[in-house]
Structure formats: structure tokens, C-alpha cells
Structure 1
Amino acid sequence: MHRIGYARVSTSGQNLDSQVDALKAAGCTKIFSDKVSGVKEDRPGWNQVMEYLREGDTLIITELSRMSRSLAHLLKVVQELEGKGVKIESLRENINTTTATGRAFLSIMGAINQMERELRAERSAAGREAARARGRSGGRPKINQEKIKQAQSLFAAGYTVAEACKVVGIGKRTFFRHRSTAKGQGYLEGLEGDIR
């Protein structure tokens, strides 16, 4: 039964010292770390700590955000660790899954996450229903072909693609995707790579 620490900062320029000191003070016998954004899937230190943890161990972090990318991800990680028989302790939030209070807190967070998912689904369904009632369906809005023609005319008159698109209010990708004339198409295709 060991207390294992995990520390993370978002960039290589940030310092792990304060987290490492706090984890040592909390009795961690081994500490893994990452210098990488929490939104990235590939975190070498996290992968190592997950392989290292054994049943009966406690994973210590300074705060929950060091371990997870979102509430949904946090709950997934907690479930995975519980499946391995590993407890979690967060120093800042004072959450400890070895206690009834800590487990109850995470259960409440899980209920909130589920409620948020259901509310998002309800809002999406209501939005689609309202759009159908107005005679619209989902998907991308239709491009105004007149704007495309205006942008192409400006380009033909000597404007750069960026200038022409800015004047009529469309994106450069839209300009190339909807170019309608065969004349000069090879030239436009050459330009496409230059301006991105």
C-alpha cells in the first residue's frame, strides 16, 4: 500500500517544484510528472503512473485539474482507478475517496455531469425542432453564390484573394471551394497553396 504522486504543468517553461514539494509533504514515496497540456491524450508521466499503481495504492494529486481534462474525463479516470482498487486524494480540494464524504462528492459530480449531458441533448433537440418549424434543417448554412461571384470578380480585377474575400465577407477556403469558372482554375489552384 503506497502513496504515489502525480504532478503536471501545462508547458515546459513552468515549474513542477511546488507540486512535487506538496506531494512529498503528503507522504508520496514515488512521484510521476508531465510537462504537457491536460487536453492532450498522450501524457507519458500519466501513462507511467497508471501502469505503476497497484491495488491498495493511493494516487495523490495537488488538485483535480492536474489529473483530468474535464469533469467527464475525471469521472472516467476515477472509475478506472476504482476498478484497479486504487484510491484518490486531492490536496487542494481536500477530496479523499477513502472516506465516505469523498466518495459522495464524486457521486454528486457524476450526477451533475449526467444532468449537463441530458440538458445539452434537450437543448439540441429543441433547436432542431424550432428550425424545422421555421422550414430549416440542420447543417451548414448555404453560401451566398452572389458573394462568391463578387469575390471572383474582384480577384479578376486585381485584388488579392484575401482582399476580395474580406470585401465581400467570405473566407478564403470558401472562395476556392466554390470557384465556379474553369478559366484560370489552374492558376487559382496554384495560389491556394501559397496563401494558406
Structure 2
Amino acid sequence: MRIGYMRVSTVAQNLDTQKAALESYGVERIFEEKASGRNIERPVLKELLKFIRSGDTLVIYDLSRLGRTVHQVVKLLDDFIKRNIGFVSLKESLDITTPMGKAMAHIIAVFNQMQVDVQNEKTREGLLIAKANGKKLGRKAITQDKILMIQALCKEGYSNQEVADKLGVSRRTVINYKKGSKQIKN
């Protein structure tokens, strides 16, 4: 059975290109996920790994959809080989059932991780430059009034998400401030 796996990192991205490629390749079932490739705890990928059987072939659009670190990708590829699961990456024309395909998959995984590492390095450099130029980093502090409102709404029985939506803050902010465990900074 040909099984497809599609992944994008954010909710704002779409899966249309990947889906069209997988469908034209003839996959019979597609697993869709919206999660970072660096995250090793991807629920849909775990579900797929439980579902796929010996003799099946996993088909993805691009090797980076499987994972963004060499360790993740190599671990999964080794698992597929041990379990007699075929693997095809359409964009790179990879098939790990051949020695050349297996070697190329490892090489491409190294370049994918390098791309992420370079991007992270540029982000760190940009943050350091901004900080050196006096730019304040991080989220804006919330007011004492908003903290009191968070605590009051939580006491009334509103869920963390409902309070967050009402006040225009994140759910994490509500959790941090609702019991007074985090105080406002002066």
C-alpha cells in the first residue's frame, strides 16, 4: 500500500502542492500534519508509524517533510529499512530500497539540517544586533488591570482560552497570571 505523509510547520501554510503530488503518485491514504519538523513528538507521524506495515511504501513530497534534523530523518529511514517499509521522496526522486537512494537520503538530510542551523544563526545574530541597538525584545508587558481581569474571569469559571480570547492575550499569559503566581514587572 502506498501511504502519503504531508506536513507544514504552521496553520497559515497549506498542503495543496504536496497533496497534488502525492495523489498523482497514486497514494491510497494520506496523513496530514501541521507541526514543526524539529518537533519529534508529532502525533500524526506517530499514528502513521503505527499504521504502516511491512511491504507498504511511505511517499512524501520532500525529504524535509519527514524531519528537519539529520538524527530524526536517519532514525526514521533506518526504522523503515528494518521494518521492510519502502520510502519515496518525490522532489528528490529518492527510493531507499537502493544503496544510492539510501546514501542520497542521508546527504539531503544533512543539507536540510544545515539550512535550519543557518536560519537559526541568522535569527540569533539579528536579535543580538537589535538588542545592541537598544531595541526591546519580547512581548509587551500587560497592565495590572489586565492581570486583575484575568484573575476575575478565571474565578468566574471561564476557561483559559475563553479568557485569552476575551482579553486579546495568549492562553499561556492567562495561565501565568491567573493565580497570581507571576507578578507584573515595574
Q: Which of the five TM-score ranges fits, normalised by the shorter chain?
A: 0.5 to 0.7
Query: What SS class does the counterpart of residue 33 from structure 2 fall into?
Result: strand
Q: For 1:76 and 1:194, how far apart are their aligned partners in 2? A: 45
Runs of 5+ unmatched residues, structure 2:
112-131, 133-181
Query: What SS class does the counterpart of residue 54 from structure 1 fall into?
Result: coil
1:31-42 equivalent positions in 2, closer than 5 A: 31-42=30-41
Whether 1:18 and 2:8 are equivalent positions in the alignment is no
1:1-196 equivalent positions in 2, closer than 5 A: 2-106=1-105, 193-195=183-185
Percent sequence identity is 36
TM-score (norm 1): 0.54
The answer on whether the counterparts of 2:22 and 2:60 sit within 8 Å (CA) in structure 1 is yes
RMSD: 2.8
Runs of 5+ unmatched residues, structure 1:
114-165, 167-191
| Structure ranking higher on relative contact order (CA contacts 8 Å, 6+ apart) | 2
* Alpha-carbon offset, residue 195 of structure 1: 2.4
Query: What SS class does the counterpart of residue 104 from structure 1 fall into?
Result: helix
Q: How many residues align?
A: 119
* Alpha-carbon offset, residue 20 of structure 1: 0.9
Query: What SS class does the counterpart of residue 51 from structure 1 fall into?
Result: helix
Name the amino acid aligned to 1:81.
F
Query: What SS class does the counterpart of residue 194 from structure 1 fall into?
Result: coil
Deviations 1:17-59 (A, max 9, x none): 1111110111100000101111223212111111111001111
Aligned structure 1 segments of 4 or more residues deviating by more than 6 angstroms: none
* Alpha-carbon offset, residue 97 of structure 1: 1.0
* Alpha-carbon offset, residue 108 of structure 1: 5.8
The answer on whether the counterparts of 2:37 and 2:65 sit within 8 Å (CA) in structure 1 is yes
* Alpha-carbon offset, residue 93 of structure 1: 1.1
TM-score (norm 2): 0.56
